Structure 1
């Protein structure tokens, strides 16, 4: 006798009993359990026949994770009979990785009929034949892999496995990834801020002071004429600190209507001493320039105290600003011809965030700060389809598409999404994805000033009803704030993200196809992301580091098919080209490209006069940057080391040093890639004079480096496993000896972190019990590690196969606990993902693989049962 139990479409177990002959009236029981512990979950009465069926005998959820068997009672002289056990399924995965593929193999027990494979919570493969396996393409960044095994009665999810593929470093010679170049199209602009492409032959550039200049194509891709002023708004624009003319965009029908839209802070004279107003204004092309008389205010018709006074900030069509930055900025058109406008929180003053009360207006849909607006380009009113559209669209809330931004400085429309670069405060830069088609209700909220990235900001006890920041208790607690698609940390240079464009088309290599290119003006880089809409972004290959990126403040599709950028550092328009013939690295991994540079001759910083003072002698070094020209052929060396010399180390008898100051006033540059295991590294520099040390484009040392400065020449930094770029510059003036050396040692590894849950299903009372284990290879005390730990719960909200992530809750400093969760935000379409991290005393951080926890009603993603 045997049996088969199988779950039906209603979630209950149907039973088929197979026997050579049954005895009608004999009693049986379906038992659940294992070992010596079995319980009766249903009773049966046999009828005549060889195959007996029993429908709806028990809820499948009530026998999850246990074996099933049938016991027949003794009857009419027959002894008790017990069938073989139908075991519950179990699954684990093993992952091996080569250069291009993660090979995932699932090991199962029990009667498994199908295995589904998941990456970051989204299904990528299905296998219906053992051995169960899937091939997953390698992409850079951190990803988790998991598998769900499906058996007749239930399915079970494996423990997730984290895979971390380090982001490749830029090529060591040029500061750019091999094949890429930034070419100057036109220079000579004065603090350019934004640009707009008009057709194939005209590019408009805005300067911060209020000028708009036009640059026309003269021939081919490379020839563009001298820019000329076509609009002068200097009498209207308040040009101070970060305020000024920040954005321009041409109407999609410019060829017909000649409309150009500009955004700026309005100069209100002395009245603006406390606050000012902001505007979006339209001008019309007259064939030669933009006619001043065509001025039409689209947004910001209410100005002065009637706008930025403390009781009038909610006045319709008022865009106030109280600080010196985070102004009205980028603009774009959606596919329906609506105008999108980004407005910062307008509250940047020199005070701690908790003292900047005006930042709270970001969370008020009736105040037009910290928002992305969507308006009619003629009337400036909100448009139907905006989440809070009402009446004729004249209310401020009717204009709001999304809220909760600190400074949505640059953005781009990509299909039915808007990709926004939101400039952070003191910790993170964000890239957010806003769906252009939102449900009616409160606009999508990206958390500022209550959250930065997915972290709570320093606002004190927001749960206190008396706190002026009590509004943040709701924003943080209800899980409604949108988590960034990607966030990256600040460096010593801070950060100012410039959202860019997707790289598409045939001009760029296949490895960069459909990645998102973005920049950072403060950190000065160009990088990429894989950016699945509705999903979590991962860092992709970089394009340019701080030695080459040029200070990008606007990135856009140029008229020639290349990506262009506005470079505020050089006051120029540049385009990003690629060619397989562009040279890349000259030195192998583990070697350093060494070059010598001339710091003598006319214009030498060592001949300049500096204001007197105790440290005036340091000024020539601080002002020196190595020229691109070299004094001798470049060589590859295994170490960063210049032995003591009083001469010219590159000189030979055939080519002596015949400069004005032979043996002095030169610079040495080393730059190369090294492969390092993850951990904390101590970098040390020692030189007779000034040295600059960068690791992965992060400045660690930029000062004198002789023995006098002691431990100031050592710098500890936490690095992930993978390739890293180390760059050192040594500047030698007129000292007797020149010598320099840079070394590094691994002084510690990151903690090991493991997170477990008691059940991968949310309990009936809505709780999830979790336990955290932490240890450190360097012997840090466990209690100290726990004190620097956090467990993070995220709510994955599924829309079809894809999902987006909401920050849910986090707990700090505990080894175990219970979280109360629900899926009220999206009933039946949610999954809980938990992960944990802990930092050691050096700052090295270890992170656990995530754990997915399912709601009984959440038949989505890796919880699809």
Structure 2
């Protein structure tokens, strides 16, 4: 491995990861040995997410609107009706999470009307729709900034990372589900009872955990901790890793306080002048961006895939959640192209998908991180 030491990274981390006066940038990481990569399966097209089943097999979503079952390296299409999936640009079939009963899973996808969460029941290689869990998440006809990744929290609630669909008012509008991290009941789709805006008269506001986001790609729960982290795409600069605080604003506002209707991407990712109480990122890419994607804890570190950067980034955090260093495994650095999904399996290994558009891979990582 090598530490990430680009000048832009050091400058930004000094500001974001150590906000106290006199703080220092994270140090370079040591170089652990023994990382092993196994190509479990191939032939995917934009593999978007991975879910683990009780028998050791896996479900993999593909953005064009297909779900594949992977068992012992063999890939079988799941018989499921996804005729309402709209595949355009960044949109299509996206995130997936398997429910604790091991029989149901919830997938997130664009339709012609919205982005929605739909729960299915799996029986062998056939999946039957159970219900629309949550509808009405905003969708851009081009698919831009669609989000959308569900993840089950240790407390049993479902967190959902959403995009702002490149509409300027969505991130700061608490009646919109775009540009948010949602926290919902996985059985009903309603906001969790102890959510920060649970007393609101608006059902969508009751679902919001955090707001003021641009295009959240993943949410990760730190083991043995109450800390929740998100990974988020920046515009031309400043991809962000955020430590989420219930009810907090993360400061993205391309409407400039509602004063303009165009999507102004020259505003800061975290606008502390307009929103002094907004929460700064614990890490920011500076320039150029990496197009960081899914976040997952693995071997004690926060592992985040990168699309444009074509790498896996491993963040070492202190007890407070501040970034101490970032390292990049050479074994994955620009070796497999764009990396998207990252999910920790029950056996402790890390599964990653590539997202190059043809013959994409499902990778399994073991060994030291």
TM-score (ref. length: structure 1): 0.37
RMSD, matched Cα? 3.1
- 526 and 434 in structure 1: CA distance in 2 versus 1, 3 angstrom threshold: same
CA contact (8 A) 1:362 1:449 kept: yes
Contact 2:26 2:325 in 1 (8 A): no
The structure 2 residue matched to 1:182, chosen from 21, 37, 40, is: 37
Q: Could you say what secondary structure the match of 2:74 adopts?
A: coil
Which residue of structure 1 aligns with residue 360 of structure 2?
Answer: 571
SS at the partner of 2:106?
strand
**1:418 offset after TM fit, Å?**
2.0
SS at match of 2:170: helix
| Closer/same/farther in 2, CA of residues 161 and 434 from structure 1, 3 Å limit | closer
CA contact 1:278–1:319 (8 Å) conserved in 2: yes
Q: Is the 8 A contact 2:26 2:323 kept in 1?
A: no
Q: d(CA) in 1 for partners of 2:308 and 2:242?
A: 19
Cα distance in 1, alignment partners of residues 334 and 272 from structure 2? 40
> Where do 1:411-450 residues align within 5 Å?
411-414=219-222, 415-435=225-245, 438=246, 443-449=247-253
Aligned pairs for 1:581-730 within 5 A: none
TM-superposed CA distance for 1:195, in Å, is: 0.8
1:503 pairs with 2:289: no
**SS state of the match for residue 540, structure 1?**
strand
User: Which shows bigger deviation, 335-344 or 320-329?
Assistant: 320-329
User: In the alignment, is the contact (CA less than 8 A) between 1:343 and 1:368 conserved in 2?
Assistant: yes
Deviation at 1:531, TM superposition (A): 2.2
Match of 1:285 in 2: 122
Rg larger in structure? 1
1:558 deviates by: 2.3
Shift in Å at residue 535 of structure 1? 4.2
Alignment partner of 1:521 out of 304, 307, 316: 307
| Structure (1 or 2) with the greater helix fraction | 1
Whole-Å separation in 1 of the counterparts to 2:93 and 2:25: 45
Higher relative CO (Cα under 8 Å, sequence separation at least 6) belongs to 2
Larger strand proportion, structure 1 or 2?
1
Shift of 1:477: 3.8
> Would the aligned equivalents of 2:221 and 2:297 in 1 still touch at CA under 8 Å?
no
Deviations 1:602-648 (A, max 9, x none): xxxxxxxxxxxxxxxxxxxxxxxxxxxxxxxxxxxxxxxxxxxxxxx
The residue number in structure 1 matching 2:206 is 398
> Residue by residue, what CA displacement relative to the aligned partner does 1:274-310 show, whole Å, maximum 9, x if unpaired?
xx4111000112344212xx3300111xxxxxxxxxx
- The one of 542, 555, 561 equivalent to 2:342 is 555
Deviation beyond 4 Å, 4+ runs, structure 1 = 141-144, 159-164, 465-475
Structure 2 contact 28–327 (Cα < 8 Å) conserved: no
Q: Taking structure 1 as reference, are residues 479 and 206 closer, same or farther at Cα in structure 2, changes over 3 Å only? A: same
How far 1:320 moved relative to its partner?
1.7
Check if 1:370 corresponds to 2:179: yes
Quick check: 1:211–1:233 contact (8 Å CA) kept in 2? no
In the TM superposition, residue 388 of structure 1 has moved relative to its aligned partner by: 0.6
CA contact (8 A) 1:343 1:371 kept: yes
Q: Which of residues 306, 318, 329 is equivalent to 1:543?
A: 329
Residues 188 and 387 of structure 1: CA distance in aligned 2, closer, same or farther (over 3 Å)? same
Question: Structure 1 residues 483 and 200 mapped into 2: Cα distance closer, same or farther (>3 Å)?
Answer: farther
Deviation at residue 488 of structure 1 after TM alignment: 1.1
Q: Distance in 2 between matches of 1:533 and 1:164?
A: 14
Q: Which runs of 5+ in 1 are unaligned?
A: 1-140, 147-158, 171-176, 217-223, 269-275, 301-317, 348-357, 451-458, 505-513, 581-865
Q: Deviations over 1:491-547 (max 9, x none)?
A: 3xx43112332232xxxxxxxxx2222121111111211223644313333213543
| TM-score normalised over the length of structure 2 | 0.83
Q: 1:561 to 1:200 in 2, by over 3 A?
A: farther
Aligned counterparts of 1:475 and 1:186: Cα–Cα separation in 2? 45
For residues 260-282 of structure 1, the C-alpha deviation after alignment (integer angstroms, 9 at most, x for no partner) is: 1000001x3xxxxxxx4111000
Partner of 1:211: 66
Which residue of the partner structure matches residue 410 of structure 1? 218
Aligned to 1:296: 131
Secondary structure of the corresponding residue to residue 331 of structure 1: strand
Residues 164 and 394 (structure 1 numbering): CA distance in 2 closer, same or farther, change over 3 Å?
Answer: closer
Aligned equivalents of 1:488, 1:344: Cα separation in 2: 19
Which residue of the partner structure matches residue 697 of structure 1? none
Counterparts of 1:103-142 in structure 2, within 5 Å, are none
Q: How does 1:824-835 map to 2 (within 5 A)?
A: none
Q: Secondary structure at the match of 2:78?
A: strand
Asked if the contact 1:567–1:573 (Cα under 8 Å) also holds between the matched residues in 2, the reply is yes
Aligned-residue offset at 1:209: 1.4
Relative to structure 1, is the Cα distance of residues 430 and 162 closer, same or farther in structure 2, using a 3 angstrom cutoff?
Answer: closer
8 Å CA contact retained: 1:412, 1:420: yes
Q: CA deviation at 1:333?
A: 1.1
CA contact (8 A) 2:47 2:353 kept: yes
- How do 1:245-264 and structure 2 match up within 5 A? 245-254=93-102, 258-264=103-109
The structure-2 alpha-carbon separation of the partners of 1:163 and 1:527, relative to structure 1 and needing over 3 Å to count, comes to: closer
The alpha-carbon deviation at position 162 of structure 1 amounts to 4.8
Structure 2 Cα separation of the partners of residues 474 and 424 of structure 1: 13
Distance in 2 between residues matched to 1:242 and 1:424, nearest whole Å: 15
The answer on 1:386 being equivalent to 2:195 is yes
* C-alpha displacement of 1:433: 1.2
Partner of 1:803: none
Does the CA contact (< 8 Å) of 1:515 and 1:540 recur in 2?
no
Residue by residue over 1:840-865, the C-alpha shift from the partner in whole angstroms, topping out at 9 and shown as x without a partner, is xxxxxxxxxxxxxxxxxxxxxxxxxx
- The change in CA–CA distance for 1:566 and 1:382 in structure 2 (over 3 A counts) is same
